[in-house]
């Protein structure tokens, strides 16, 4: 009997995300590393939980670590492939946004979707070895941290291994999120030197600003529109929504109230130079050899590429939403029903095959995908519930202290707020401790208010780790059960230096 462990929960997701990656874990991965992994995916009311075979997952992780340590160039080549396919998907997604699908035939639509889906699935698959390596036991991270601890001790240096690891693995390339942060500050700085524009932003609500800006300063209105079109997709994830223009206007309005905006901007521009110098000094101080440096570079690149690959997929889903809407009209199925056709089935539907509408509705409501020994099937109804019952259920935890992995060091206290979906955002206040099963771009507005971030799952390449580094917020990841142990308004002491979170009396 398979020993399932809970791998991940993804809210607001659907079949289009998983076909390639499910196939890879069950079959193609064996060609890469000689191991395949059984998996069980449970789809319930638009959310997805999936579970992995513990034995083979651990075996796969150890195999990847061994291959990487023996030959770092092997994993470096995998990282290069991720970057190449991610950029190709972004390029094709941008092309989709410029396409008028209404004038194309079904045959043409099928060809466009097939090409785009092939790129999309390849992008998702490309990052799986990195996920297996780091997700559950953070194998490369722990290897490097142990190496740092040993080296620091041998050289009698006054360094902390966690902080040193964090610096040495900080990417020197900007994520789309950071690019947007920089560009929106640039807009605010430009707007601040024009008295009429600044007064409009500071004295009016976003909808009024959008209405009047073309008359106050047409050039600035064009710049705002360009920024909106370039970055509105960032929180889209798998089904949206995207940001509207009000969001960006509100951001600029807030930035115009900052007294030291120029200083904030200059610090953001100089941060890569500062980190690069810190990394160079640490490598010299620790006398790290060429092979060890290459392992830190792999970890650093993994963190950057995790963000790039995710952004590429989010942009992909955003860009083909108009295609799905056009197909919805042609096939007389709702967009949600289309989302619960596997991509290979959707191509068949475009080419004329009929699918049972009730089955698609049932799939979204409750269905299970299972892959055992490379054999796969999708089931609904009684069989789906029977298979789902084999997966472990969350228990009622009553602990008061948890331990996880440090993503960004620091020590803070504050009120816990459980933030898992956009609907939770209003309860987040400045200085609260954000506790999440796993963060995503939709939760970034709450993350920016957080004094610290704590997650159930994820390694140093997860979204929470990446964003907390960018925001310089203490972060503890991989606690497994933080959202089960803590509840809203618990007073927490987060010691991210040692990866410990305690519930304490105020």
Q: Residue 358 — very low, low, confident or very high, per pLDDT cuts 50/70/90?
A: very high
Q: Give pLDDT, residue 395.
A: 52
- What 8-state DSSP symbol labels residue 175? -
Helix and strand numbers (H, E) in the chain are 23, 13
**Burial label, 362 (beta-carbon count in 10 A; 0-12, 13-18, 19+):** middle
pLDDT in tens, 406-457: 888 889 999 999 998 888 999 999 999 999 988 888 888 999 999 999 998 8
pLDDT in tens, 242-258: 999 999 999 999 999 98
The answer on pLDDT for 87 being more than 70 is: yes
| Residue 487: other Cβ atoms inside 10 A | 12
User: Would you say 487 and 164 are in contact if contact means Cβ atoms under 8 Å apart?
Assistant: no
Dihedral sign, Cα of residue 343, residue 346, residue 348, residue 351: negative
Alpha-carbon torsion angle 437, 230, 222, 247, nearest 10? -10
pLDDT in tens, 119-176: 999 999 999 999 999 887 889 999 999 999 999 999 999 998 888 998 999 999 988 9
Helix (H) or strand (E) holding 186: helix 176-192
Strands 433-436 and 452-455 come out as: parallel
User: Would you say 15 and 341 are in contact if contact means Cβ atoms under 8 Å apart?
Assistant: yes
Q: Give pLDDT, residue 391.
A: 84
Side-chain-facing half-sphere of 203: CA atoms under 13 Å: 8
Report the range out of 53-57, 163-167, 421-425, 465-469 with the highest average pLDDT. Answer: 53-57
Q: Give pLDDT, residue 201.
A: 96
User: Would you say 191 and 258 are in contact if contact means Cβ atoms under 8 Å apart?
Assistant: no
Pick the residue with more confidence: 212 or 268? 212
pLDDT in tens, 369-385: 999 988 899 999 999 99
Averaged pLDDT for residues 333-340: 96
- Predicted structure pTM score: 0.89
- The length of the chain, given as a count of residues: 506
Dihedrals phi, psi of 458, to nearest 5 degrees: 115, 150
Q: Residue 26 — very low, low, confident or very high, per pLDDT cuts 50/70/90?
A: confident
CA distance 338 to 366: 16
Sheet with 366-372, edge to edge strand ranges: 4-10, 47-53, 39-44, 366-372, 375-380
pLDDT in tens, 261-292: 999 899 889 989 999 999 999 999 999 999 99
CA distance readout (Å), 168 to 297, 441, 495: 8, 25, 21
For residues 314-350, one letter each, b for 16 or more C-beta atoms within 10 angstroms of the residue's C-beta and e for the rest, the string is bbbbbbbbebbebbeeebebbeebbbbbbbebbbebb
- Which residue stretches of 332-369 are H helix? 335-339, 343-350, 357-365
Token couple for 408: 């960004």
CA distance readout (Å), 382 to 6, 379, 389, 392: 22, 9, 11, 18
Averaged pLDDT for residues 21-32: 91
Per the prediction, the chain carries an average pLDDT of: 92
Averaged pLDDT for residues 462-473: 83
**Burial label, 427 (beta-carbon count in 10 A; 0-12, 13-18, 19+):** middle
Q: Give pLDDT, residue 128.
A: 95
Reference 463, options 441, 495, 482, 485; nearest CA is 441
Q: Give pLDDT, residue 399.
A: 61
Q: Which residue has the tokens 């990866």?
A: 499
Cα 439 to chain center, whole Å?
7
Averaged pLDDT for residues 302-331: 95
The answer on pLDDT for 483 being more than 90 is: no
Q: Give pLDDT, residue 160.
A: 84
Contacts of 478 (CB under 8 A, 6+ apart): 138, 404, 405, 455, 456, 457, 458, 459
Q: Residue 394 — very low, low, confident or very high, per pLDDT cuts 50/70/90?
A: low
CA distance 285 to 389: 53
Phi-psi region of 489 (alpha: psi -120 to 50; beta: other; left: phi over 0): left
CA distance 24 to 12: 22
pLDDT > 90 fraction of the chain, expressed in percent and rounded: 74
Pick the residue with more confidence: 135 or 41? 41
Q: Residue 396 — very low, low, confident or very high, per pLDDT cuts 50/70/90?
A: very low
pLDDT in tens, 215-239: 999 999 999 999 999 999 999 999 9
Q: Where are the domains of the chain?
A: 4-134+312-388, 176-267, 401-503
Q: Give pLDDT, residue 68.
A: 97
CA distance 40 to 54: 12
The answer on pLDDT for 398 being more than 70 is: no
Q: Give pLDDT, residue 1.
A: 62
**401-503 — its CATH code?**
3.50.30.10
């Amino acid at each position: 009997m398979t020993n399932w462990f809970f791998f991940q929960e993804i809210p607001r997701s659907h079949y289009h995300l998983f076909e390639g990656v499910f196939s890879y874990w069950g079959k193609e991965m064996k060609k890469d590393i000689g191991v395949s992994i059984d998996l069980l995916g449970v789809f319930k009311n638009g959310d997805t939980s999936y579970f992995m075979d513990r034995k083979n997952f651990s075996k796969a992780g150890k195999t990847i670590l061994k291959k990487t340590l023996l030959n770092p160039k092997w994993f470096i080549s995998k990282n290069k492939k991720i970057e190449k396919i991610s950029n190709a998907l972004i390029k094709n997604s941008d092309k989709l946004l410029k396409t008028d699908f209404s004038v194309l035939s079904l045959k043409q639509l099928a060809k466009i979707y097939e090409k785009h889906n092939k790129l999309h699935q390849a992008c998702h698959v490309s990052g799986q070895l990195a996920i297996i390596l780091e997700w559950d036991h953070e194998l490369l991270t722990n290897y490097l941290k142990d190496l740092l601890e040993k080296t620091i001790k041998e050289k009698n240096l006054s360094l902390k291994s966690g902080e040193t690891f964090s610096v040495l693995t900080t990417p020197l390339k900007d994520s789309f999120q950071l690019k947007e942060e920089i560009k929106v500050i640039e807009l605010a700085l430009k707007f601040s030197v024009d008295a009429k524009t600044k007064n409009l932003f500071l004295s009016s609500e976003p909808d009024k600003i959008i209405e009047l800006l073309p008359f106050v300063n047409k050039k600035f209105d064009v710049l705002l529109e360009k920024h909106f079109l370039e970055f509105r997709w960032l929180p889209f994830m798998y089904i949206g929504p995207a940001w509207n223009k009000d969001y960006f206007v509100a951001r600029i309005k807030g930035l115009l109230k900052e007294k030291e905006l120029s200083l904030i901007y200059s610090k953001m521009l100089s941060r890569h130079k500062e980190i690069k110098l810190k990394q160079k000094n640490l490598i010299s101080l620790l006398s790290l050899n060429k092979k060890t440096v290459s392992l830190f570079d792999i970890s650093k690149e993994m963190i950057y590429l995790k963000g790039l690959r995710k952004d590429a997929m989010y942009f992909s889903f955003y860009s083909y939403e108009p295609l799905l809407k056009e197909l919805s009209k042609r096939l007389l199925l709702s967009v949600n029903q289309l989302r619960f056709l596997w991509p290979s089935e959707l191509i068949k539907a475009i080419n004329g095959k009929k699918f049972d509408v009730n089955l698609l509705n049932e799939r979204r409501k409750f269905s299970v995908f299972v892959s055992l020994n490379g054999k796969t099937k999708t089931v609904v109804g009684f069989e789906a519930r029977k298979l789902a019952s084999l997966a472990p259920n969350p228990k009622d935890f009553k602990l008061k202290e948890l331990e996880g992995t440090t993503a960004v060091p620091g020590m803070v206290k504050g009120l816990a707020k459980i933030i898992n979906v956009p609907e939770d955002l209003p309860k987040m206040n400045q200085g609260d401790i954000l506790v999440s099963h796993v963060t995503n771009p939709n939760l970034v507005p709450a993350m920016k208010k957080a004094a610290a971030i704590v997650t159930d799952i994820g390694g140093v390449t997860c979204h929470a780790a990446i964003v907390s580094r960018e925001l310089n917020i203490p972060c503890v990841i991989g606690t497994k059960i933080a959202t089960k142990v803590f509840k809203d308004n618990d007073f927490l002491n987060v010691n991210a230096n040692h990866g410990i979170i305690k519930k304490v009396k105020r």
